[in-house]
Structure 1
Amino acid sequence: MRKIVLAAVATTALSLAACSEGTEESAEATVDSAAADMEANTDAMAAEGEEMAAEGEAAVEEAAVETEAAVEGESEAEAAAE
Structure 2
Amino acid sequence: MKKFIALAAVAALGLGLSACDSAQENAAEDAGEQQAEVVNDQAEAMEDAGQITDDQADAMTEAAENKADAMEEAAEDDTTAVN
Query: Whose relative contact order is higher, 1 or 2, with alpha carbons under 8 Å and at least 6 apart?
Result: 2
Q: TM exceeds 0.5?
A: no
Which of the two has greater helix per residue?
A: 1
TM-score normalised per structure 1:
0.37
When Rg is computed on C-alpha atoms for both structures, the one with the higher figure is 1
